[in-house]
A and B are shown apart, each in its own frame.
Chain A
Amino acid sequence: MDQLSSDQITHILDTAEQLRSVTDRPIKKLPTLRGRTVCNLFYEASTRTRISFELAAKRLSADVINFSADSKSSVAKGESFKDTAWTLEAMGVDAIIVRHGSSGAPAQLARWVKASVLNAGDGAHEHPTQALLDLFSIRQHFKDFEGLKVAIVGDILHSRVARSNVKGLVTMGADVTLVGPPTLIPAQATSWGATISHDLDSVIGDVDICYLLRVQKERQDEQLFPSLREYAANWGLDSRRQALMKRESLVMHPGPMNRGVEISADVSESPRSIILDQVSNGLAVRMSLLYLMLGGGEPASEAGGEQL
C-alpha cells in the first residue's frame, strides 16, 4: 500500500465498481485477460483469498494455476523460493499472486521475475488487496474518507491487514485509532499516522467504523494477554459495546472470525456488520487489480509499479 497514492487507490476502486456489475450478470465473465496466465503461489494456508483471486482471474478469462505449499514443508523439500519463481517465469506466467509467511517475500519475488507480482499477504507486513476491498466496502456507505473515524481493534502487532489498512485509510484522509492491549500494538505505530488507545470503551462511541481483527489463540500461549476471556472482556465487541456506537456506524472484520473473542455472534450478524459485503467486494477489487496490471487498456504502471 506504500506504493499507492490516493488517486491511484480511487482509480482502482472506480474500476472495481465498473467490474462489480459483471458479478450480477447471468454470464459472469469478461474476455479481457483471455490468453493470459495467472499463478496463485500460496506458501501459507488460505481459503478465502486464494478462491477470491482464482475467481477474479477466471471472471476475466485468464488461465489460472494454483500452487500451494506450506512454507516450511517447501523449504524442507528443497526447492527454493527463487527456483520456484524462475520455474514459473520459464513457463511464461504473466502474473504471480503470492501469499507468504515471510515478510517481504513478494518484494524479493518481484526482483527475480519479469511477471507482475501481486501481494496476497506477506508475513506481518502487508495485505494490500484486503485493504483495498475494505476501502471499497467503506466507500459504499460513506461518501468521503476525509475525517472518517476508524478504530482498528486487536492484534496490530502481528497483523498485515492492520498495516495495509492504516496506510490505505491514512492516505485517503481517515482518522485511524489502533485499539488493544499494549502487548499487541507496536509503540512505533504512531509513526504510521495513527493514534493508539488501550481503552475500547472510550473510543467506541466516537467511531464511524469499528474494524475488528482476528485474535489468535496462540497469542495467549505467548503471554501477550492473560486469557481469551479477559481479552474479550476488554477489547471484544459485544452487544453492550455495540449499543454505544453511533447510529450510522459499521462493524467490519477481515475474517475468519473468532466468535466470542473479538466479536460476539450477535454483533457479527447485526445490521451494522458488513462482513459479508467485504467478501463479495474482494472479488471486484481483485478483478480490478488484475485488469489494471494485465489488461490491454491500462498499463501496469497505473497500479504504481509491477509489484503491489
Chain B
Amino acid sequence: MSEWLLKGGRVIDPAKEYDDVADVHLVNGTLAEIGPTLNAAGAELIDAHGSVIAPGFVDLHTHLREPGREDEETIATASAAAAAGGYTAICAMPNTDPVCDTSSVAEKVWALGREVGLVDVRVAGALSRGLDGAVMSDIGEMSRSAARVTMFTDDGHGVQDSLFARRTMEYLVAFDAIYAEHCEDAALAAGGQMHEGDRSAALGLRGIPAEAEELMAARDIALAKLTGCRLHLLHVSTAGTVELVRRAKAEGVRISAEATPHHFTLTDAALETYDPLMKVNPPLRSVEDVDAVIRGLADGTIDAIATDHAPHAVEEKDQEFGYAPPGMLGLETALALGITQLVDAGHLDLAKLIEVLSVKPARILGLDAQGTLEIGSAANVVVFDPSVRWSVDASSLQSKSRNTPFHGREVLGRVMHTFYEGRPTVLDGKVLSGATSDRFDDRAKESV
C-alpha cells in the first residue's frame, strides 16, 4: 500500500480545463482523489504550496543512444534525465546501433525501459531497414509487438524517395500508425552546417536553407492527403513549415507537429562563436522563424514541445565546428525554457504549456495513462515550482552527456517531484537513488 497526498498545489489539468488550488491523493499507483483539503491518514505528505501539479510530461523525441552508444547515454541515464525534467513518458528514436527496425530491438528497448522503471519508455520504429530510405522495416511486427509501436520515422534523415514515402504511408494506414518525418531535402541541405542566411554567409559556413525543410513538409502533406496516413512533423523549425502545417490542419489533413525548446529559444546568432554545442539539425534559425514557432505553439498549430534530446560525448563536440555532430541535450531544461521563453514572456499560459508538454503528445502517441489527471487513471504526475530561478549547470545533469547549449543560463521554473505510476521518481528535485542505477555500468562492474 503506497499513498501520497500532495497538499495545496495549483492543480492544472488542461484536458479537463481544470485549474484550481487543491490536494491530490495518489493511492496504489492511481489518482484516487482531487479536491480541497483532503485528508488521508497514513499517506506520505508533500507540501505543494506555490507549486503546480500537472500530468507528467511526454517527450515525443528522445535519443537514448542505447543500444550502440552507451558511452553517451543509456536507457537508465536518459530515464533519470527524463524524470528530473518532469517526464513520465518518452519516445525513443530508432537511430541506434542496431537500428530499431525489427520487433526484437523494439521490444528490447521497451523492456529495458520497464526494468529501469523511471518513465514509460515508448519506442519509435524505423520506417526503413537500417534507415536506408529504400526498404521497409518490419512495421507490422513492431506495431503488434509487446512494444506496441505507433510511431515510425527515419529521424536523422528525411525520406528522400517520394515513392517510398507514399508506399510507407499507405502501408502504415493498416496499423493506424504515424509517419513521422525529419523534413530535410538532402540535396538542398548537403554539407550544411547552420541555417542559411546573413550569418552563414558571413561566417563562411555552408547554409541549410529553410526550403530544405519546407519542401519535404509540403510533399509529405500532399502524400498524407493522398494516402490518409497520419503524419507527424518532427522538430519544426521554420516559419514556412509552421504555415504549411496551419494550412494543412485547416484542410483537415491528419497532421501533428512538434517543436523543440532550442528552436523557440535560440537563433542562429548563437553560432557566431563557432561553438559546436550550438550545432543542431535542423539548425537554429532566424528570429522570424523563432517567432513563428512560438506563434504556432500558442495557436495550436504546433501540438507539442519535444526535446530532440541528443546526447554526444565531450570529445565529439570538442572538435572543429565542421566535424562536430549536430545535437543537444533537452530533457532536463525543457520545462524551464518553456516557462522562461513562453509563459514568462507572455506567449502561452501555464495550462497551454502543460498541454503541449503533456496532454497533446500523450494523445499523439495514444497513451491513455499519460497526459491526464482523470480520477482512476495511472498516477503520472509532475509537481513543479514555476517561480524558482536557477542556473543550468551541465555538470549536474542526470544525462550521461554534457552537451547542453544552456550551461550557465538563468531560467525560471523547476521540477520538484515526479510520480510515475504512483511511485515517486523525483522528490525535492532529486532523482530517487536506486532507480538511477546505470544498468550498463553495473553490468560492466560485475564482469570485472
Q: Which residues of A contact B252 (CB under 8 A)?
A: none
Q: How many residues of B contact A (CB 8 A)?
A: 20
Q: Which residues of B contact A191 (CB under 8 A)?
A: 198, 201-202
Partner-binding segment picked from A26-34, A57-65, A117-125, A146-154: A117-125
Q: Is A173 an interface residue (CB 8 A)?
A: no
Closest to A157 in B: B201
Known: A102-B320, A102-B322. A108 touches B274 (CB 8 A): yes
Known: A103-B274, A107-B273, A188-B198. A81 touches B319 (CB 8 A): yes
Interface string of B184-217 (1 = CB under 8 A from A): 0000000001000110111111100000000000
Are B205 and A104 in contact (CB-based, < 8 A)? yes
Q: Which of A107, A108, A163 has the most CB of B within 10 A?
A: A108
Q: Which residues of A contact B321 (CB under 8 A)?
A: 102-105, 108
CA of A189 to CA of B201, assembled, Å? 7
Known: A107-B273, A108-B274. A160 touches B204 (CB 8 A): yes
Are A104 and B315 in contact (CB-based, < 8 A)? no
Are B202 and A108 in contact (CB-based, < 8 A)? no
Are A186 and B322 in contact (CB-based, < 8 A)? no
Known: A80-B315, A107-B273. A100 touches B202 (CB 8 A): no
Are B319 and A124 in contact (CB-based, < 8 A)? no
CA of A27 to CA of B202, assembled, Å? 42
Q: Is B323 an interface residue (CB 8 A)?
A: yes
Top-6 shortest CB links A-B: A104-B274, A125-B204, A124-B204, A102-B322, A102-B320, A188-B201
| CB<8 Å pairs between A and B, sample of 11 | A80-B319, A82-B319, A103-B203, A103-B274, A104-B273, A108-B274, A108-B321, A124-B204, A124-B206, A188-B198, A188-B200
Give the interface of A toward B (CB within 8 A): 71, 75, 80-82, 100-105, 107-108, 122-126, 160, 163, 186-189, 191-192
Known: A107-B273, A108-B274. A163 touches B202 (CB 8 A): yes
Q: Which residues of B contact A75 (CB under 8 A)?
A: 319, 323
Closest to B321 in A: A104
CA of A71 to CA of B202, assembled, Å? 22
The majority secondary structure among interface residues of chain B is loop
CA of A168 to CA of B222, assembled, Å? 49
CA of A245 to CA of B315, assembled, Å? 54
Are A103 and B201 in contact (CB-based, < 8 A)? no
Q: Is B318 an interface residue (CB 8 A)?
A: yes
Q: Which residues of A contact B200 (CB under 8 A)?
A: 188
Give the interface of B toward A (CB within 8 A): 193, 197-198, 200-206, 273-275, 315, 318-323
A180 to chain B, nearest CB (A): 14
Closest to B206 in A: A124
CA of A176 to CA of B202, assembled, Å? 16
CA of A104 to CA of B203, assembled, Å? 8
Are A123 and B205 in contact (CB-based, < 8 A)? yes
Closest to B194 in A: A103
CA of A124 to CA of B204, assembled, Å? 4
Q: Which of A102, A104, A107 has the most CB of B within 10 A?
A: A104
Closest to B197 in A: A188
B320 to chain A, nearest CB (A): 4
B186 to chain A, nearest CB (A): 15
Q: Which residues of A contact B204 (CB under 8 A)?
A: 103-104, 122-126, 160, 163
CA of A100 to CA of B193, assembled, Å? 16
CA of A246 to CA of B274, assembled, Å? 42
Q: Which residues of B contact A122 (CB under 8 A)?
A: 204
B324 to chain A, nearest CB (A): 9
A281 to chain B, nearest CB (A): 24
Q: Which residues of A contact B201 (CB under 8 A)?
A: 186-189, 191-192
Q: Which of B197, B205, B320 contacts A108 (CB under 8 A)? A: B320
CA of A186 to CA of B318, assembled, Å? 29
Closest to A123 in B: B204
A226 to chain B, nearest CB (A): 19
Are B320 and A105 in contact (CB-based, < 8 A)? yes
Closest to A43 in B: B320
CA of A188 to CA of B203, assembled, Å? 12
Q: Which residues of A contact B206 (CB under 8 A)?
A: 124
CA of A82 to CA of B319, assembled, Å? 7
CA of A71 to CA of B319, assembled, Å? 12
B169 to chain A, nearest CB (A): 32
Q: Which residues of A contact B198 (CB under 8 A)?
A: 188, 191
Are B205 and A192 in contact (CB-based, < 8 A)? no
Are B320 and A81 in contact (CB-based, < 8 A)? yes
A21 to chain B, nearest CB (A): 35
A233 to chain B, nearest CB (A): 27
A163 to chain B, nearest CB (A): 6
B207 to chain A, nearest CB (A): 8
Q: Which of B204, B206, B274, B322 has the most CB of A within 10 A?
A: B204
Q: Which residues of B contact A187 (CB under 8 A)?
A: 201
Q: Which residues of B contact A82 (CB under 8 A)?
A: 318-319
Closest to A75 in B: B323
B211 to chain A, nearest CB (A): 13
Q: Knowing that A102-B321, A103-B193, A107-B273 touch, tell me 11 more A-B residue pairs with CB under 8 angstroms.
A: A80-B319, A82-B318, A82-B319, A103-B203, A103-B204, A104-B204, A104-B320, A124-B205, A125-B204, A160-B204, A188-B197
CA of A108 to CA of B323, assembled, Å? 13
Are A192 and B274 in contact (CB-based, < 8 A)? no
CA of A154 to CA of B193, assembled, Å? 23
Q: Which of A100, A126, A186, A191 has the most CB of B within 10 A?
A: A186
Q: Which residues of B contact A101 (CB under 8 A)?
A: 322
Q: Which residues of A contact B322 (CB under 8 A)?
A: 101-103, 123
